[in-house]
Amino acid sequence: MSHNLSDYQYSLPPELIASSPIDNRDESKLLIYSKSKDQIFEDNFFNIDKYIPKKTVFVLNNSKVFKARLVFDYNGKSIEIFFAEKISYNEFLVLVKPGKFFTPGSVVLLPEDVSLEVVNILEDGSRIVKILNTNFDLFSYLERNGDTPLPPYIKVDDPNIFNLRYQTVYAKSYGSVAAPTAGLHFTNSLITKLKAQGVEFLEVTLNVGLGTFKSVKASNISDHLMHSESFELTSDVAKKLNFFKNNDYAIIPVGTTSLRALQSSYDSISKSFVAKTASTNIFIYPGFNDWIIDGLVTNFHLPESTLIMLVAAYIGLDKTLDLYEFAVENKYRFFSFGDACLFLE
């Protein structure tokens, strides 16, 4: 296993970066890799049922992306606030620019006469802020005034199309600053078809936060510090997961966020899933062996990212780089609106 950051680099032609979604979600390409058979298969996502075990439960992350980026004029200057995380009903973790307007104790007037007070500046430059207005609902406010934060490689002319396509069809509760993109391939009709075939679906919530944007700087990846992200796994879901696991179902998380919620909710002593509403900063990279999953649906990830490290932990670094090279040679689309992988035991 390697902990050298440079070993998680690969060559990607710019034209393979998916700058916009394809017309139909489930028509994306699907690269299937079986660990036990050490075989690669290729298909479209709508045929995923041909490759999964008959007794399968997909675990979905139902977190919904909110319009976390607020840009407005203030004293003749354009300023930006990025609402990264809700701490309490009126306190939030934010990124700001320029920082000179956001010193501790300062009050900034936002659109719609909303007053924001800076409570504290953290070591990384982020701020803890408090909304002074009563009965303030952040998500409805930003739905009216904010913008969805876009990865720089996404180019979509019509923001309405983007806002629709950058949500999973099963998204429910606002809380994420970026989409759990592996789930973008599912359509309602595909889910209906899979359920008719006996495939089970369960939902967890993990709110994708700042960690998804934080690049790894440490030359030894084990020195990287992950941001915490809030998640919830309900008692009903925990009970069903334990039933399925004890009855030989393949538990396959859809996306690295669902996987992290599952791994963070599993008790190794009782060997069971436990209901939790908590935060997790779990960082999965090669050397991690406490797997409680039987497969993974995920996209193709950025070089030197914590996500490609997670994939390398699951299938091995050499195999990860081999599969990414295969995907490049066969013109797969990469990143948020790109194609998908299905890894199986």
pLDDT digits (tens, 9 = 90+) for 319-344: 999 999 999 999 999 999 999 999 99
Q: What is the mean pLDDT of residues 149-171?
A: 80
Q: Give bridge partners of residue 79 from the DSSP assignment.
A: 72
Question: Strand order in 229-233's β-sheet?
Answer: 250-253, 56-61, 200-206, 229-233, 276-280
Q: 117: part of which helix (H) or strand (E)? A: strand 114-121
Contacts for 100 with CB less than 8 Å, ≥ 6 apart:
none
- Contacts of residue 330, Cβ cutoff 8 Å, sequence gap at least 6: 42
- Walk me through the domains of the chain, giving residue ranges and CATH numbers: 5-65+163-344 (3.40.1780.10), 69-145 (2.40.10.240)
Q: Shortest CA distance to 130 belongs to which of 149, 110, 147, 100?
A: 110
Q: What's the full length of the chain, in residues? A: 345
Predicted TM-score (pTM) above 0.75:
yes
CA 113 to chain CA centroid, nearest Å: 33
Residue 233 and residue 213: Cα distance in Å, rounded?
24
Q: What percent of the chain has pLDDT over 90?
A: 85
Q: Is the pLDDT of residue 149 over 90?
A: no
Q: pLDDT band at residue 298, thresholds of 50, 70 and 90?
A: very high
pLDDT higher than 80, residue 160:
no
Q: What does the pLDDT average to over 177-183? A: 94
Cβ neighbours of 231 (radius 10 Å): 25
Residue 110, pLDDT score: 96
* φ, ψ at 42 (rounded to 5°): -130, 140
Which pLDDT value is given to residue 2?
83
pLDDT at 159 over 90: no
Q: For the segment 236-254, what is each residue's pLDDT rounded down to a tens digit?
A: 999 999 999 999 999 999 9
Give the angle 183-208-135 at the CA atoms, nearest 5°.
Answer: 115
* pLDDT over 90 at 264, yes or no: yes
The span from the CA of 298 to the CA of 342, in Å, is 7
Residues 14, 171: Cα–Cα separation, whole Å:
30
**Chain mean pLDDT for the chain:** 94
Q: Is 253 left (phi over 0), alpha (psi -120 to 50) or beta?
A: beta
| Average pLDDT estimate for 288-303 | 96
**Rounded to a whole number, what is the largest CA-CA distance in the chain?**
63
| CA distances to 38, 95, 117, 128 from 137, in Å | 50, 19, 16, 17
- For residue 213, is pLDDT > 70? no
DSSP class per residue in 238-294: HHHHHHHHHTT-EEEEBSHHHHHHHHHTEETTTTEE--EEEEE-----TT------S
Q: Which neighbouring-strand residues pair with 73? A: 78
CB of 301 closer than 8 Å to CB of 307 = yes
